[in-house]
């Protein structure tokens, strides 16, 4: 049985003070056996980790640099995150790919480095609107998944998380239908089975992300291959508590 996972991607929102207060509120409201992760901006990681100590909520970063250390002004390494008490790391979010030119090769490098440091990657894949309209969603998510996982072992892939996030649904209020989301998550699980085996494919957790709200969460999360959600906008408000319940 895969444990359900709800991750909140705060993006560039919330000051450290606001973030700590919000994290405490989430932890206080938490019940049930889903796993919950909040991914604040770098500056909030330390206060949020402190606020969530001895709670069931974990902390993730939104990105990490691809080198272990060195002269990379302004960047943050996997070891810094790990030492801080961060457990997860989002890798290859479409906003990183779009605004910071991150490629599938870079996503693979970051994934390997995060795993080597003991972080759990949440790898994002997903098609844009023109790819959806040209009916190449399956090929595209299979391709991105293959490249992201290139060179990883069975054990490494079993433990990580992939988030299917159609770019046209991110922050737009347009959610994929539960059938569209299920189909893409099933494609991802299938390609994992082809490259690895059935056991790995059954272990890996696959999330849906893109305008998840309290209103659509339970239907999305009821689909066979959707193990939870990566939530952006709605993770900043009380809706997130409703999504966790869903
Ligand atoms: P959204 O963002 O929920 O605001 O669409 C999702 C994401 O970018 O992970």
Kindly write down the DSSP assignment for every residue of 32-63, as one continuous string. SS-EEEEE--HHHHHHHHHHTTTSSEEEEES-
Q: Which atom of ligand 1 is nearest to the CA of 173?
A: 5
- Output the pLDDT for position 174: 87
**pTM passes above 0.75:** yes
- Output the pLDDT for position 32: 65
- Output the pLDDT for position 34: 78
β 120-125/35-39 pair status? unpaired
Measured in Å, residue 172 CA sits from the centre of ligand 1 at 9
Report d(CA 209, CA 229) in Å as an integer.
6
Return the best residue to mutate from 210, 215, 228 for the ligand 1 pocket (most ligand atoms within 8 A of CB): 210
Mean pLDDT of the chain: 96
Q: Which atom of ligand 1 is nearest to the CA of 95?
A: 8
Instruction: Give the confidence band of 112 by pLDDT, cuts at 50, 70, 90.
Output: very high
Region 217-239: what's the mean pLDDT? 97
Closest CA to ligand 1's atom 1: 232
Q: Is 179 exposed, middle or buried (0-12, 13-18, 19+ CB in 10 A)?
A: exposed
Report d(CA 15, CA 9) in Å as an integer.
14
Region 5-25: what's the mean pLDDT? 97
Tell me if 60 CB under 6 Å of ligand 1: no
What distances in angstroms separate CA 130 from CA 135, 166, 167, 186, one per listed residue? 9, 11, 10, 21
Which residues form the catalytic set?
93, 165
Q: Which atom of ligand 1 is nearest to the CA of 234?
A: 3
- Output the pLDDT for position 52: 96
Tell me if 232 CB under 6 Å of ligand 1: yes
The gap from C-alpha 85 to its chain's centroid, in whole angstroms, comes to: 17
Q: Which atom of ligand 1 is nearest to the CA of 163?
A: 9
Tell me if 237 CB under 6 Å of ligand 1: no
Percent of the chain topping pLDDT 70: 100
Return the best residue to mutate from 212, 237, 239, 243 for the ligand 1 pocket (most ligand atoms within 8 A of CB): 212
Closest CA to ligand 1's atom 6: 232
The sign of the dihedral angle between the CA atoms of 23, 173, 221, 158 is negative
Instruction: Give the confidence band of 90 by pLDDT, cuts at 50, 70, 90.
Output: very high
What distances in angstroms separate CA 9 from CA 38, 96, 195, one per listed residue? 6, 13, 29
- Output the pLDDT for position 173: 86
- Output the pLDDT for position 198: 98
Instruction: Give the confidence band of 246 by pLDDT, cuts at 50, 70, 90.
Output: confident
What are the pLDDT digits (tens) for 124-157?
999 999 999 999 999 999 999 999 999 999 999 9
The gap from C-alpha 225 to its chain's centroid, in whole angstroms, comes to: 15
């Amino acid at each position: 049985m895969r444990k359900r996972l709800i991750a909140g991607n705060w993006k560039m929102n919330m000051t450290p003070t606001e973030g700590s207060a919000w994290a405490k509120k989430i932890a206080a409201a938490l019940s049930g056996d889903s796993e919950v992760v909040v991914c604040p901006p770098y500056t909030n990681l330390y206060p949020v980790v402190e606020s969530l100590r001895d709670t069931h909520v974990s902390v993730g970063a939104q990105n990490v640099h691809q080198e272990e250390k060195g002269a990379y002004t302004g960047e943050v390494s996997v070891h810094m995150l790990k030492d801080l008490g961060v457990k997860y790391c989002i890798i290859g979010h479409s906003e990183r790919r779009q605004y910071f030119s991150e490629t599938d090769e870079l996503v693979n490098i970051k994934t390997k480095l995060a795993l080597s440091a003991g972080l759990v990657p949440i790898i994002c894949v997903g098609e844009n609107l023109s790819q959806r309209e040209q009916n190449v969603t399956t090929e595209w998510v299979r391709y991105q998944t293959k490249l992201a996982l290139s060179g990883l072992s069975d054990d490494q892939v079993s433990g990580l998380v992939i988030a299917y996030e159609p770019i046209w649904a991110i922050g737009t209020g347009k959610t994929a239908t539960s059938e569209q989301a299920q189909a893409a998550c099933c494609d991802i699980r299938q390609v994992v089975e082809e490259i690895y085996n059935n056991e790995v494919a059954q272990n890996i957790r696959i999330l849906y992300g893109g305008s998840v709200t309290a209103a659509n969460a339970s239907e999305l999360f009821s689909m066979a291959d959707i193990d939870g959600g990566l939530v952006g906008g709605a993770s900043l408000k009380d809706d997130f508590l409703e999504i966790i319940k869903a």
